[in-house]
Structures are given as structure tokens and as C-alpha cells.
Amino acid sequence: MGSFSEVVLGFSFRPDTPDHVLAAFSALAVPRESWQEPAPPLPAPHVIDPDEDWEPSDELSDPTEDPTPWLHDWAGWFSHSMSVSCSPSAQLVWTQAHRWTLTCRWAIKTWPEGIVPALRWLGPYLQGHPLRPILLGYIEYGEEPRPVLLWLTEGKIEAESLSPYS
């Protein structure tokens, strides 16, 4: 039957993130509150082929070989859960730090090693820190006692398993 990975992420996009990358997540944008300053316009979401049978981790293809990873239904996956034990949520908001920030919780039927490679393409577009890694979130998997942490270091997404037998 297999286990599910629950993915919890929070990150800000760099100011120079191209529109085609933001378009992969723009469907998750929430309306601004009246007290917030106006956000810059987001690009329209990519038109996704409804017959596309794509998963972030299909375990058959190598996600690093995808020349256009942003042209998939990332907004749909980031706001969806394959597990009944996870209440999915996702939103893209314009923050007071003048950044588009995405937060999400979702579940997929795969192990962390199956999903992390599919997320790595985002690394160069995320706001980091020049002197230290930034914690992006974590992945809880099945009955593992501890999560896998996701770090952004110099534009690269790296995984760190906290389980003792990994």
C-alpha cells in the first residue's frame, strides 16, 4: 500500500524571479487585505493540459531532465492531498518585505527521496541568505520517527534526514 509524504514548505521568491516561474504558482495568490500595500501584478497561471498525467514524483522519470519544470500543475499539487490525514493548504501572498511568499502543506504517495529532486528546480528562484542556510520546511514520511528537513543553501535545495536509521 505504501506511505505518504506530508510536505510543509514556506519560502519567499527572489525579486528577480522570472514571470514564467511565478506563473506556476500564481493561481495560489490570495486577495490582499485592505491594510496591505498593493502587490505587483502576477503573471496569469500557466494553462495546464487537463489530460496531463503528471506528478511531482512519478518515480519513473528524472525530474532534473525536465527542461521546463514550471509548466506543470504545481499550484494544484501544492494545494492537494493524496492522504486523508492531511488537510492541504497553499497560498501565495505579497508580504511587507516586498516578496511573493508561498506557504503550503500537502501530501503525496512517495518517500522524501522521491519528492526532493522534483523541488530542486526552485532553488535558484528562492530568497536565501548569503551567510547561512535557510530552513524551507520539512517532509514527514509514514512511520519515520523524525522528518526530513529542507534547506536552501546558495540557491540549492538540500535534504537532511533527522531519522536515526536513514
pLDDT digits (tens, 9 = 90+) for 89-132: 999 999 989 999 999 999 999 989 999 999 999 999 999 999 99
CA-CA distance, 150 to 55, in Å (whole number)? 20
Q: Does 61 map to a domain?
A: yes
CA-CA distance, 129 to 131, in Å (whole number)? 6
Reported as a pLDDT band with limits 50, 70 and 90, residue 1 is very low
Q: Does 109 map to a domain?
A: yes
Residue 166 has pLDDT above 70, yes or no: no
Q: Does 126 map to a domain?
A: yes
Angle at alpha carbon of residue 115, lines to 14 and 48, rounded to 5° = 70
Mean residue pLDDT of the chain comes to 91
Domain containing residue 40? 5-161
Task: Count how many domains the chain has.
Answer: 1
Q: Does 166 map to a domain?
A: no
* pLDDT tens digits for range 142-151: 878 899 999 9
